[in-house]
Structure 1
Amino acid sequence: MLKIISNQDFDTFAQNAKDAPRKRSHHNLHEQLDAGVQRLFISTEPETYMRPHRHSEEHKWELFLVLKGQLDLLIFDDEGNVTERHSLSPETNRAIEIPPGTWHGYACMQSGTVGLEIKEGAYIPTPQEDFAPWSPAEGEDGANDYRDWMSTAQPNTK
């Protein structure tokens, strides 16, 4: 079955993120959580917090494409220092593939941002040990401050 995603769908995805308490929304293309390849649109707003994490399984790479708006990808070392920052947007870098075991997080830089994430499945919720221990959990005290810091953090800062 063909799956066609229109510009109207992008507008709907963006509105869903604006309306969501976490200020982000997912639209899965894969029909089962145990699908061998996970394909999903992720819509985000600048108020969302995407906590730094890693995918520790050797086969869990992540390909992320920004189709509308802008996300900045931050890469961290094991101590929480920013080692790289990459702008992802239709005007800069469209896509990035993150290797397994890499600490990373995203800062949404523009309202209405829509990206496409592709990764090997099956879907398994991120285990606690794969969330960065030097970053606050979503909803904890300091999470909004950390999100704001991520929006401007540059390499060689913690």
Structure 2
Amino acid sequence: MLKIISNDDFKQFSQNAQNAPRHRSHHNLHDTLDAGVQRLFISTEPDTYMRPHRHSEAHKWELFLVLKGQLDLLIFNEQGQVTARHSLSPDTNRAIEIPPNTWHGYACMQSGTVGLEIKEGAYIPTPKEDFAAWSPAEGESGADDYRNWMRSAQVNDAF
């Protein structure tokens, strides 16, 4: 089946994120969670918290493209220190591929941001050990402070 995503769809994706409790929403292109390739639009707002995590499986690379707005990708070492920060937007870097077992997190820098994530499937929820122990879980005390720190953290910073 042909799948067409229009500018009106982008507006709806952004509206969905604005209305969502987590300030982000997903629109899957893959038909099932066990699809061999996961393809999804992720709409985010600056108040969303995307906790640092990794994909520890050897085949779990992640390709992320920003189509509208801006996300900053932070790469961390094992101790939670920022080792790299990359702006992703239509005006800077459009896409980035993250290798397996890389600690990373995103900071939404602009309202109405829409990205496309592609990664090998099937979808398996991130196990507890693949969320960074040095960062608070979503909804925990300190998560908002950590999210705000991520928005301005620079290379060599640690929370």
Write the letter of the residue equivalent to 1:100: P
| 1:33 pairs with 2:30 | no
| 1:101 pairs with 2:77 | no
How many Å apart are 1:44 and its aligned residue?
Answer: 0.1
For these two proteins, the number of residue pairs brought into alignment is: 158
1:40-59, Cα deviation, whole Å (9 max, x unpaired): 00000000000000000000
TM-score, length of structure 1 as denominator length: 1.00
Write the letter of the residue equivalent to 2:113: T
**Paired position in structure 2 for 1:122:** 122
How many Å apart are 1:140 and its aligned residue?
Answer: 0.1
**Paired position in structure 1 for 2:70:** 70
**Paired position in structure 2 for 1:92:** 92
**Paired position in structure 2 for 1:111:** 111
Looking at structure 2, the residues matched to 140 and 4 of structure 1 have their Cα atoms a distance apart, in angstroms, of 38
**Paired position in structure 2 for 1:145:** 145
SS in structure 1 opposite 2:35? coil
SS in structure 2 opposite 1:151? helix
Identify unmatched segments of 5+ residues in structure 2.
none
| 1:53 pairs with 2:45 | no
Looking at structure 1, the residues matched to 34 and 155 of structure 2 have their Cα atoms a distance apart, in angstroms, of 36
1:79-130, Cα deviation, whole Å (9 max, x unpaired): 0000000000000000000000000000000000000000000000000000
Looking at structure 2, the residues matched to 155 and 100 of structure 1 have their Cα atoms a distance apart, in angstroms, of 21
Write the letter of the residue equivalent to 1:55: H
Identify unmatched segments of 5+ residues in structure 1.
none
Percent of counterpart pairs with the same letter? 82
TM-align CA RMSD: 0.2
Would you identify which runs of 4 or more consecutive aligned residues in structure 1 move more than 4 Å?
Answer: none
Looking at structure 2, the residues matched to 15 and 138 of structure 1 have their Cα atoms a distance apart, in angstroms, of 21
Looking at structure 1, the residues matched to 90 and 41 of structure 2 have their Cα atoms a distance apart, in angstroms, of 15
